[in-house]
């Protein structure tokens, strides 16, 4: 079923067992993003030390795609430099814009390539990107902070 | 009088197509927009192919025919609402209709009955669609007037116990929805209108969810302004209606100014044409208005009371069937009294967007989210809901398909 390409097991697993959920009081930037079409919300605390992401924590409510996506993102960018994280975000954004034509680079995106199926559902791309756009925002703010 | 849903469905070409790899289309999103019958599609097409010209101008035959068609549509809509022809204003949407009243009030000069000051108040309800909340919220902000509202109780009804404290001598306008687009609740207008008129306030009715589904007669309701959108009433997109009592429309200043709404113009002054032209600046959405006329005619031929009866029966069936699903919470009146055919719900801990996605894979089209009524979602303590909204082309088999799809969603997302 087409639907299975959207709801991959890894995605539902992250949804049921979200990683890095619960906001840490230590952060260099805090951002809140909302998907205005459905009301999904994510607040994200990012801590950057010497250009390295030392912690990323979040809280929010939303559909399986938006929540699993931010959970996987948190795993992926922890301990990365801001430049490495930027490359990951770019790669993920390209995958989401691919309308089902790309499979994603596992070298860069690791498990997050499972979101390739989401790009076939235009209504869900915004869900998948919600946490990533929040992170991008927080990373830009932290750049100023940590330098 | 009743009608056959099978016959009605034949009038709507969209039901000839299938969805998601050959599945029957189960369209339960009429609260967002209704499907269109051939008579509407043809009326719009025929206007363009045979009579297209700018109305109210032009010294030629096409201009005459276009004007006749456009003004004919106005007469049909007027009859549909039990109004006079000159009380019907065509807008581009119900949102524009409500904004037109709110901005026009903001334009009223001191001495005009609509002029608002910091000592006045505007009353809305917590269950308003954003289209009937934000225009008033922002008007309050611009004028300094106080925004007050009726709360929604957990049984999905308005709390009118404090009506005399909410609507007071300072109240200038009461803006309320006839039927909630989320809960399905039909509001008790009589009490609200009575109190509003007691204190000299006008009542603005958002009738988007009522006019397509039941007989709405403005004289009987005794409201002062009413807005509805064409596309929710099997009409085209791009056309809405603002109705107002003639005497009030006379006194209300215009909102949009420009061509065809004037009486006389100099370089520094202008005077206004009589209503409804005063509120129809620019070349209007003519083909769409003509299409809306055809839509109102189509609905009238089936009979608004027959449509309402059909929806009451279908809602009763839906509430019964849906209530039997484990973990469902219907967000709206549970009893089939003073409610329309809109059933919003949550299903255990499955997010509405995921429910919507799954049922779509089964050919069932629903809406998910806060349905442009964010404060209401907060009041009902739900981040979002799934909404099934039924109409004249739905029947019990559509309810059954929804229920089956919801059980499927539970199974699908319960795997982990």
pLDDT at A146 over 60: no
* Average pLDDT, integer, range B311-321: 98
CB contact under 8 A, B384 and A7: no
Mean pLDDT score across all residues of chain B: 97
What does each C-alpha distance from A48 to A56, A138, A141, B236, B314 come to in angstroms?
9, 10, 10, 53, 57
The model's pLDDT over A24-36, given as tens digits with 9 standing for 90+, comes to 999 999 999 998 8
Domain borders along chain A are 2-146
What is the pLDDT at residue A2? Answer: 80
The model's pLDDT over B340-397, given as tens digits with 9 standing for 90+, comes to 999 999 999 999 999 999 999 999 999 999 999 999 999 999 989 999 999 999 999 9
* Average pLDDT, integer, range B226-249: 98
CB contact under 8 A, A121 and B354: no
* Average pLDDT, integer, range B196-205: 98
Closest residue in A to B21 (Cα–Cα): A2
Q: Please give the domain boundaries of chain B with CATH numbers for all domains.
A: 5-30+303-413 (3.90.1150.10), 41-300 (3.40.640.10)
Cα–Cα distance for residue pair B172/B122, rounded to 1 Å: 6
Backbone angles phi, psi at A45, to 5 degrees: -105, 125
Closest residue in A to B414 (Cα–Cα): A12
What is the pLDDT at residue B1? Answer: 67
Any residues with CB less than 8 A from the CB of B221 and at least 6 apart, and which? Answer: B189, B193, B205
CA-based torsion, B347, B353, B359, B361: positive or negative: negative
pLDDT at A144 over 90: no
Tell me what percent of the residues of chain B surpass a pLDDT of 90: 98
Q: How far does the CA of residue B416 sit from the closest CA of chain A (Å)?
A: 7
pLDDT at A145 over 80: no
What does each C-alpha distance from B325 to A26, B18, B328, B387 come to in angstroms?
44, 27, 6, 15
Q: How far does the CA of residue A67 sit from the closest CA of chain B (Å)?
A: 11
pLDDT at B67 over 70: yes
CATH architecture label of A2-146: Alpha-Beta Complex (3.90)
Find the chain A residues whose C-beta atoms sit closer than 8 A to any C-beta of B.
1-3, 6-7, 9, 12-13, 15-16, 37-41, 61-65, 121, 123-124, 127
Model-wide pTM > 0.90: yes
CB contact under 8 A, B361 and A1: yes
Cα–Cα distance for residue pair B385/B75, rounded to 1 Å: 39
What is the pLDDT at residue A147? Answer: 47
Instruction: Supply the angle between the helices B396-413 and B352-361 in degrees, to the nearest 10.
Output: 120
Q: What ipTM score was computed for the predicted complex, to two decimals? A: 0.89
- Residue A18 in tokens: 């979200």
- Taking contacts as CB-CB distances below 8 angstroms, the residues of chain A near B384 are 38-40
What is the pLDDT at residue B251? Answer: 97
Mean pLDDT score across all residues of chain A: 93
B100 pLDDT tier (thresholds 50, 70, 90): very high
* Average pLDDT, integer, range A104-124: 93
* B-interface mutation test, from A16, A18, A63, most B Cβ less than 10 A away: A63
Helix (H) or strand (E) holding B297: helix B286-302
Count of CB atoms within 10 A of residue B238's CB? 19
- Taking contacts as CB-CB distances below 8 angstroms, the residues of chain B near A16 are 416
């Amino acid at each position: 079923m087409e639907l299975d390409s959207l709801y991959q097991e890894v995605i539902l697993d992250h949804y049921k067992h979200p990683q890095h959920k619960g906001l840490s009081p230590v952060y260099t930037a805090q951002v809140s993003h909302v998907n205005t079409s459905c009301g999904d919300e994510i607040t994200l605390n990012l801590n950057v030390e010497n250009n390295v992401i030392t912690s990323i924590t979040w809280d929010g409510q939303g559909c399986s795609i938006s929540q699993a996506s931010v959970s996987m993102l948190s795993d992926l960018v922890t301990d990365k430099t801001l430049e490495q994280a930027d490359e990951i975000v770019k790669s993920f954004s390209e995958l989401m814009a691919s309308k089902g034509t790309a499979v994603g680079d596992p070298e860069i995106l690791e498990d997050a390539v499972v979101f390739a199926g989401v790009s076939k559902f235009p209504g869900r791309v915004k869900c998948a990107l919600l946490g990533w756009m929040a992170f991008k925002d927080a990373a830009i703010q932290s750049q100023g902070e940590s330098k | 009088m009743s009608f056959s849903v099978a016959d009605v469905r034949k009038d709507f070409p969209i039901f000839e197509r299938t969805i998601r790899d050959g599945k029957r289309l189960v369209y339960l999103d009429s609260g967002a927009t209704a499907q269109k019958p051939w008579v509407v599609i043809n009326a719009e097409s025929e206007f363009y192919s045979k009579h297209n010209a700018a109305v109210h101008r032009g010294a030629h035959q096409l201009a005459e025919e276009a004007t006749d068609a456009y003004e004919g549509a106005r007469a049909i809509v007027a009859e549909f609402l039990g109004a006079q022809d000159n009380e019907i204003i065509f807008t581009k949407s119900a949102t524009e209709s409500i904004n037109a009243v709110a901005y026009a009030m903001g334009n009223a000069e001191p001495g005009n009955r609509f002029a608002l000051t910091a000592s006045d108040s505007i009353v809305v309800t917590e269950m308003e669609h954003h289209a009937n909340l934000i225009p008033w919220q922002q008007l309050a902000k611009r004028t300094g007037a106080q925004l007050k509202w009726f709360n929604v109780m957990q049984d999905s009804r308005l709390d009118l116990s404090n009506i005399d404290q909410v609507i007071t001598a300072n109240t200038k306008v009461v803006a309320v929805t006839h039927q909630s687009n989320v809960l399905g609740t039909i509001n008790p207008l009589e009490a609200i209108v009575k109190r509003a008129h007691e204190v000299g306030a006008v009542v603005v009715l958002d009738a988007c969810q009522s006019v397509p589904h039941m007989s709405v007669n403005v004289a009987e309701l005794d409201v002062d302004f009413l807005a509805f959108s064409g596309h929710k009433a099997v009409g085209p997109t791009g056309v809405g209606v603002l109705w107002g009592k003639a005497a009030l429309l006379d006194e209300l200043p215009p909102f949009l100014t420009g061509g065809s709404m004037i009486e006389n113009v100099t370089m520094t002054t202008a005077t206004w044409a009589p209503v409804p032209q005063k509120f129809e600046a620019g070349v209007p959405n003519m083909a769409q208005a003509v299409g809306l006329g055809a839509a109102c005619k189509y609905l009238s031929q089936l009979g608004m009371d027959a449509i309402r009866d059909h929806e009451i029966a279908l809602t009763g069936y839906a509430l019964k069937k849906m209530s039997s699903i484990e973990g469902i919470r219907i967000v709206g009146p549970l009893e089939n009294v003073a409610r329309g055919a809109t059933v919003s719900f949550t299903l255990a801990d499955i997010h509405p967007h995921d429910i919507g996605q799954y049922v779509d894979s089964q050919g069932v089209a629903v809406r998910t989210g806060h349905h442009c009524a964010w404060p209401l979602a907060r009041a009902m303590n739900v981040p979002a809901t799934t909404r099934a909204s039924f109409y004249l082309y739905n029947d019990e088999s559509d309810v059954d398909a929804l229920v089956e799809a919801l059980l499927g969603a539970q199974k699908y997302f319960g795997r982990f």
